[in-house]
Chains A and B, each alone.
Chain A
Amino acid sequence: MRELLQKPEFLLLLVPLMPLIGFLINGFFGRRMALASSGAVACGSIVLSFVIATSLFVSLISQGQTVQSYSFNWMHVGALDIHFRLLADPLSGLLMMVVTGVGSLIHIYSVGYMGHDKAYWRFFAYLNLFCFAMLMLVLGDSLVLMFLGWEGVGLCSYLLIGFWYTHKPNSDAGKKAFVVNRVGDFGFMLGMFLLFWYFGSLNYGELAAGMREVVQPDSTLLNAACLCLFVGACGKSAQIPLYVWLPDAMAGPTPVSALIHAATMVTAGIYMIARLNFIWVHAETALTVVALVGALTAFFAGTIGLVQRDIKKVLAYSTVSQLGFMFIALGLGNFPVAIFHLFTHAFFKALLFLGSGSVIHSLEHTLGHGNPDSQDLFKMGGLKHKMPLTFATMFVGACGLAGIPLFSGFFSKDAILYAAFERQDALGLVVYALGLAAAVCTAFYSFRLIGLAFFGKWRGLEAAYAHADESPRSMGLPLFLLAIAAFGAGYLWLPAAFGVHFTPFADLLAPVWQQGQAFLRAAQSPLAMPVEHSHEAIVREWVNMLVSSVVAVGVSIFAFTIYSKPAGLERARKLVEGAMGAPYRLLLNKYYVDEIYDIAIVRPIQLLSDVFFVIFDVIFIDLMLVNGSGLLVDLSSKVARRVQTGVVRHYLFAFVVGAALLLVMFLAAL
């Protein structure tokens, strides 16, 4: 046993296994377990998983080694050989750390947050199951395993969005997430099939080897496959046109929003593209589409976020917008920057969600569970006196999100904008403009949120303010730790313009992009990442940094001065009621996208399926096929069973006749 515990191939298996065990224990026995032990099992399992992951990461992966688990042959169907094996290279190892690390903090936070819930054990069972599925998605060494995890996290997301299923809007939101994701999953599957058809394998290593062997890649096919995969990524990572489920997903408990709908699951699409970067570099058209969709999403979601009243909705649209930023980076071929933003975003967005959860939790004491007023920014105000820790940490998170210089979001978002800036072609210009506009929105809604919630006068029910109080320590600790990470994560990759060469993040990931970049450089493609920074490039980077800093700080202060003072609020309201009324209503109703989908897609399908239901289901299948044939077989069976008379003499007769016939048959065949 001791020996086994020193083997990385075994330890890696333990990483996803721990939360699975936690899920099984809570799932089967949780109902009968005490609250404390149920929470301890869930937190213990994921923390243990984090400890194992850390040991692997520090001792091996950060040294540039790749860890593979034991493998076993899972299924062998025709040409498809599915091996079950986990693989932790720098990329998946990093994601493993994020999932287990942020996951651990959010588990601990949930102990306090869900403390009053009756279905405490069920929540933790789902949360553990989610971590297991997410780790499978990240660590699996083939697209098949990724897809397995992909579906698993989708299931957990569905279960957790509709966690308070007795309230109909919640279960509706769960269903919406599930259905929209099915559309994406279909694309993902098509992409997988195309790749399998082309390469004959779905294992990353074999795909990469296959890509190396192909002399003249069929770029049409690869573009098609990549676009199909991107449809899947749009579903899971909430991009236009499939982003509509994510804002509704806020119906779930807030820790779920933090873990699943901000830090981990929604980044699966970005991970998938980065994972397959050696294929994507051959699909330039698809990459362009990715960059454009990402830029549009970043901008549109950002504008919607400007006017939302629900604290979680603001953050949800912000997540959609930030995911758009990551896709911009991917589309520009700058994969490591996308992963860098994914990394910093995981911290500051989880922090913001947990902070807003802390606010909601404290207001719900008085307002009652599920009261929408507890999430309405316009019914808050002045909370910084009541909840100093929540305020301080959320302030750090908002600075990170807004891209205030020297906070983590600044480094990663700036790197993305700079990448667009450097392209110096039409695409780069469009993307840069949209990205900068989105950054303006980001800074605005971040500090609008801070101003509305923590400054000014309390605007809600007096009793709620009187009883509002800092959350328990189990919730405070994760906030504090996340705040440190949200501030410091950006320093892992300093821009070249700083003159200090400190890029451990990029260095760690460098081997992941090697194959793709080698190809791009040989082809002298504009997609290739720059290796050296010329003097001009450094100047451009400074300019870019300056522009975005000024924008971020200026807009933040602007938003803050409006929303932190009653007078500013009053002025904003007048503006909205007057001149800005039409665009305000357009944004408040989210560009009417849900309504458009309803008219253009949902209702026609409903009508069509009603017609088909009557013609095919009721008349053809039910009446003719099922009931008709069923009745026929049933009747004939009732007649035929009379052969079984129950008289031994008849049985013996049948036996002898049968035997005689068979024997005669034998002899005849001889």
Chain B
Amino acid sequence: MQWATGYDIFLPVVWLLVAAGVILLIDLFTEESERQTMPVFFTALGGVLLSFVSLNPYWDARPVVLMRGAMIVDQFAVYLITAILTGTAISMFASISYVRRIGISLTDFLCTLLLAASGMVLLTVSNDLIMVFLSVELLSFAVYVLTGLNGRSSKGAEGAMKYFVMGGLASAVMVLGMAALYGVTGEVALRPLGDKLAQLYSQPDGSQYLATLGMGAILIAFAFKVGAVPFHSWVPDAYEGAPTTVTGFMAVAVKAAAFGALIRVAVAVFPEHAGPTGFAGDFGWATYALWFLSALSMILGNWFAISQRNVKRMLAYSSIAHSGYLLMGLASSGGRTEAYAAILFYLLTYTLMTSGAFAMLVYASSGGKDVEDIEDLRGLAWKKPAVGICLAIFMFSMAGIPLTGGFMGKYFVFSQAVYAGGPYLSLAIIGICTSIIGAYYYLRVVAVTYFREADDRPVHGREDWGIKFALSVTVFGTVALGVFPQIFYDGAKASVEQLRVEAPAVEGRNGQTSQLVDR
């Protein structure tokens, strides 16, 4: 199978799609019932696991480019795909009995989830503008559907609708920006595009204004996807309306994929050598914009979260704030490997602690009723001490208290901003101040679970092994990242270093040069 050399990089996506297809077939030929649960769930899980396993050859490999440069698989992508698949698997485990209980068909849910995940995986390997756009659309549509999957909930429909309308606008902006860049340079592949732009900025001929607008538009669209202020307004409504496990998935996987793509685009298209107005190093226009996005997200996200009584909405605002911290890393990166590695590390801890926190909400939900008000959690720690500790660990991690992954993530990102100095130092100061504010509402959750009298509301998670598994994995990961950060940080650094490998390998991994591989 000579022709297939190198093409097994499609396998991670293919396995997800195959699993989705098999689930549909199962649903077609069997009755919707309790008995369906296990086959369907394990098909989906098998898809995710196979997808993960098929990444294996790329863990240590040099980058491989194919489809005439449209796709690239490097360790950067592998790192992100790992985070995405972890987030996907955790929300699957958390959903096993939850989704049916709130009246959603498990097959619908898992199938859409897998489609979204495949879009995300594609996004991380996208290496030209068209692939980026297509993958973003694939994942976005799947996530719109997931948000509104619960037809019985008016909040779900409202959230999905708002998300869809706003998302449409963002997509339009993104396409507009891409068109502008193509119009100016005649390129869609990221690296040649970057080279052309660099040339353009060094010898301006007037078209650089259009190019700048194009890049700005793309930046805005990504800012929308990661929920940065002022493009965040869909976040609270969509997060609140979506089924809780979907919210966790949105908060985690969508963010990881979008940030990954943003970094890839930024590194290639906003090159350091673009001169005084370039992306990195200098306080150019893009960093200027990122500075504002980051500062606004940190301030407003944390500020709005304080007064929320609804836990899901609170976590929505908290996710906006976390986007702000991540954007701080990007703004102050200056093209440094360490800064991108810090962002990746932060994404990984964010994935674990946030999906853990949402799994916790599923655990604490009762009957068909989600946890809404923070009071629903009261005394939880006394009903189930182990679960109380898990919740405390997630909240401590989000607040950035030492010995948790959240602390190390903040430490890495903030220290990069401090290292960059100048205007980024102010960003780091804003970050520290706002995370103190953040500690207030995170710790309030812990306080409610410990210091309030428990009620006799039954807790759903008691009989749900899936949710227990999800909690164990996330708690373990959150603590491991806090106690042994260096391993994961070094991994992130190694994967980021590949972003800059100048000429991606044209060799297949078996050493034969593939005819289809081209730059």
| Residues in chain A within 8 A of chain B (CB atoms) | 72-76, 630, 633-634, 636-638, 640-641, 644, 646, 648, 650-652, 654-659, 662-663, 665-667, 669-670
Contact = CB atoms under 8 A, between A and B. Distances in A.
Residue of A74, A646, A663 with highest tally of chain B CB at under 10 A: A663
Contact of B307 (A634, A655, A666): A634
Contacts, number: 97
A648 B165 contact: yes
B414 to A, nearest CB: 13
A660 to B, nearest CB: 10
- Measured as residues with beta carbon below 8 angstroms from the partner, the interface class of chain B is 35 or more
Contacts of B306: 633-634, 637
Interface stretch (B72-80, B216-224, B259-267): B216-224
Contact of A655 (B161, B217, B233, B486): B233
Q: Chain B at the A interface: mostly helix, strand, loop or mixed?
A: helix
Contacts of B288: 665-666, 669
B209 A652 contact: no
A657 B440 contact: no
Contacts of B208: 670
A657 B230 contact: yes
A266 B289 CA distance: 60
Contacts of A659: 173, 217, 220, 231
A644 B230 contact: no
Given A655-B233, A659-B220, A633 B303 contact: yes
A667 B292 contact: no
15 contacts: A73-B486, A74-B484, A638-B307, A650-B233, A651-B162, A655-B224, A655-B233, A657-B230, A658-B231, A659-B220, A662-B289, A663-B213, A666-B286, A666-B288, A667-B213
B233 A665 contact: no
A669 B233 contact: no
Given A74-B484, A75-B486, A652-B165, A666 B304 contact: no
Contacts of B304: 637, 640-641, 644
Contact of B166 (A651, A663, A665): A651
Given A657-B230, A670-B277, 10 more contacts: A72-B486, A72-B487, A73-B487, A634-B306, A640-B303, A644-B233, A654-B233, A662-B292, A663-B216, A669-B277
B192 interface: no
Given A636-B303, A638-B307, A665-B289, A651 B234 contact: yes
Interface string B228-263: 001101101100000000000000000000000000
Given A634-B307, A640-B304, A655-B166, A666 B212 contact: yes
B490 A73 contact: yes
Contacts of A665: 285, 288-289, 292
A648 B166 contact: yes
A73 B277 CA distance: 39
B284 interface: yes
A73 B484 CA distance: 9
A652 B231 CA distance: 9
A546 B307 CA distance: 82
Nearest to A662: B289
Interface of B: 161-162, 165-166, 169-170, 173, 208-209, 212-213, 215-217, 219-220, 224, 230-231, 233-234, 236-237, 277, 284-286, 288-289, 292, 300, 303-308, 437, 440, 484-487, 490
A580 B51 CA distance: 85
A134 B212 CA distance: 62
Nearest to A636: B303
Contacts of B484: 74
A218 B305 CA distance: 55
Contacts of B233: 644, 650-651, 654-655
Contacts of B161: 648
B254 to A, nearest CB: 18
Nearest to B489: A76
Contacts of B437: 633
Given A662-B216, A665-B285, A654 B230 contact: yes
Contacts of B440: 630, 633
Contacts of B286: 666
Nearest to A639: B307
A641 B230 contact: no
A637 B307 contact: yes
A73 B170 CA distance: 43
Given A644-B236, A651-B162, A652-B165, A667 B303 contact: no
Contacts of B237: 646
Contacts of B220: 658-659, 662-663
Nearest to B483: A74
Nearest to B285: A669
Q: Which of B217, B306, B437 has the most CB of A within 10 A?
A: B306
Contacts of A662: 216, 219-220, 289, 292
A655 B213 contact: no
A72 B484 CA distance: 10
Given A633-B306, A641-B307, A667 B230 contact: no
Nearest to A658: B230
Given A72-B487, A655-B233, A666 B303 contact: no
Sorted from nearest, which 7 A-B pairs have the closest CB atoms? A658-B230, A669-B285, A651-B233, A637-B307, A637-B306, A666-B216, A638-B307
